[in-house]
A and B are shown apart, each in its own frame.
Chain A
Amino acid sequence: MGKLWLICIASISILLPFLCNAFSPETPTDRRVLVLLDDFAIMSSHSLYFNALKSRGFDLEFKLADDPKIALQRYGQYLYDALILFCPSVERFGGSIDVAAIVNFVDSGHDLIVAADVNASDLIREVGTECGVDFDEDPSAMVIDHIGYAVSGTEGDHTLIASDDFIKSDVILGGKKIEAPILFRGIGHAVSPANSLVLKVLSASPSAYSANPKSKLSTPPPLTGSAISLVSIVQARNNARLLITGSLSMFSNRFFRSGVQKARSQTKHEKSGNEQFLTEISKWIFHERGHLKAVNVKHHRVGETDEPALYRINDELEYAVEIYEWSGTSWEPYVANDVQLQFYMMSPYVLKTLSSDKKGLYSTSFKVPDVYGVFQFKVEHQKLGYTSLSLSKQIPVRPYRHNEYERFIPAAYPYYGAAFSMMAGFFIFSFAHLYSK
């Protein structure tokens, strides 16, 4: 019996590091991913995508969306680091999951991929709305593009689109340019104008519109042109990353493998850009790229090393911060030339670009303005694709003490002279007045 215990403990202690190998500020890449599916057939029809994830070390757990046993958290701890919703038609999640649970999941810093499709359920639409995108209200609407469609064997209704209108960001889409257009068939969405965080990664062409391909168009379509977003991302304020798309089939093996030729274009690509695009973007979503951290914020007077509790006006000070980028496996120095520091009290009094030593250390020195008050060192580095760095450190700036002023100033010598000559004069006058005669 004792031996069994020993083995148990030993195995737990060996396994523990692996069990704990989850998302943390130190290793921000996600590990445990829950995939909710409409049916298990998707596992095989989309296996290329899932295998790509698995090969990068993700631990995928496939569940049916209406499985009554699914849960995102247990005992207040989240069981997963990310959630993939490949269940466009689910009306009600099983278990304890609902829209609020998903929202909370995101709000506590976890990532989410949502793929809707034609006839997406209200539930999925609601998730989309919470993330700041509005799917076309017509449930059977699809994105149609009579000019930018993909040439296929059967002359169809132009709902299979080939789009190559990407967001221009190497951080999100990877350094390698995506040559082939992306195949897309599904519902379009618009980004909510009230939401400032949602970005269109893949937009439809100006000739696209969203309508039901089976019925005749009686009214102007609500969504047209490049206002239609095919794939959108959100980086929430807590750096949770979200991907929303209106097509589940764009993740499928068929789309991954099929060649693509855009209408009115001579170039025929052997393979669509879907695999490269979706894999690269999943790297971004799962924090393998574009994740920054700032550590070791230091500030002190020039010539000193200790951080003071407060500064005096006109002090010379030095400020330094180290910024690193997560490469997926380790923290690499972040190299940029546009990290700026504000010395801020209701408005920036000092705004300086930090100089970098290319090893992650950013520093600058400046003179405290001649204004007292409670200032903040602020680094607001918000760059497309990167996690937003927002450091602020409060520091009071005091005026001079009474004995820190210059004691004798040249301009005052006339006054000193006047005072002393007055004293002398008074003395002589008193003497003369008292002892003359």
Chain B
Amino acid sequence: MLKVLIPTMMLFPTIWLTSPKWLWTTTTAHSLLIASASLTWLKWTSEAGWAFSNMYLATDPLSTPLLVLTCWLLPLMILASQNHINPEPVGRQRSYITLLALLQTFLIMAFGATEIIMFYIMFEATLIPTLIIITRWGNQAERLNAGTYFLFYTLAGSLPLLVALLLLQQSTGTLSMLVLQYSQPLQLSSWGHMAWWAGCLVAFLVKMPLYGVHLWLPKAHVEAPVAGSMVLAAVLLKLGGYGMMRMMVTLDPLSKELAYPFIILALWGIIMTGSICLRQTDLKSLIAYSSVSHMGLVAGGVLIQTPWGFSGAIILMIAHGLASSALFCLANTAYERTHSRTMMLARGLQMIFPLTAVWWLAANLANLALPPLPNLMGELMIITTLFNWSPWTILLTGLGALITASYSLYMFLMSQRGPTPNHIMGLQPFHTREHLLMTLHLIPIILLMTKPELMWGWCY
């Protein structure tokens, strides 16, 4: 654990002491080395689950894929931001990368936490750098509103969580995940207990987000700069899913009945947000709503509490993290050239950027869950487990899969196919950096097809 955490902390001196000329080179190389070191976490040495532990942090098959995803994303964020941050003064460039590295540190500690209060503190701590990134480096005036929605939605959900956790600490005497997984099921029956159950989960449902409390997401994703959008879509949403999976251990047996409305809301959200995607004119907004749709499926999978549901949820989280981040990078390449997110304005790009059209196709195929990519595998497992719970869900999930395919294809056809309008005939060619960024997103998805057991969680 420390062999990744200490180099991550050492990123801060690297950022502030490197000469301006070599700032981006060194931070990219340093963070890629950290990402390579994080792959050692995939060697699960113990059969009992928890490995690489010290007094406060440990990894287990649930947190490992998310930790590796987090570490992989930092160099990708740095690569993506390099172009639009470069014109700023060096001090501000350093601050920007510092915020990204700070976010990374908090996320590693959040996913690695063994004590739920530590997870909670890191969960809240990730809000600060993200808020600063959105409100300081966002491009439109709406970023302030977006930051407000982002901050207060999450805080409103997490205050009940704090109370619930303190209550849990008082009744069980511990909040260590290692101990709680073996504790006796709690006697939960009264209305107060139901409120406690809801308090434990609301924060994570807001973070996921669940349809109904999802309004912060399109705003935050759209107004954030590309690195902010990437980290939000790829990792921060997964904090919610991860938190839910950890809390589910202690929330039985109430979850059998109480999860019902949330599962239905999640499933309904898949269809509603998918339909909204078909009506979007703003490219980033479309990708943001598609994130809500996929996370609705993950929420359904987690709330079902079956082994397949959990495995499907983890697989879908990792695959969606990479695919969604790839789409945001592509949207940013279009934005940097045309300074507009309107899809109508940047269409027919295949004629002028043929190789990039391949990346667009691959990312959209991943988003629409094309077999044999892990996106489909996760979705199939969740759909199957939901069908087992209630056959009627197949109507919602099947329709949702159909709508997902429609809006992904719509995004592809809208941006790539058709005649290229004259006002964008003279755009800058694609940079090597941008091609590298896309390959670093897509190659892991393809490689994960060959060894999916890395993502199966506890059930492996």
- Bound pair (A, B): no
Chain A residues with CB under 8 Å of chain B are: none
Chain B residues with CB under 8 Å of chain A are: none
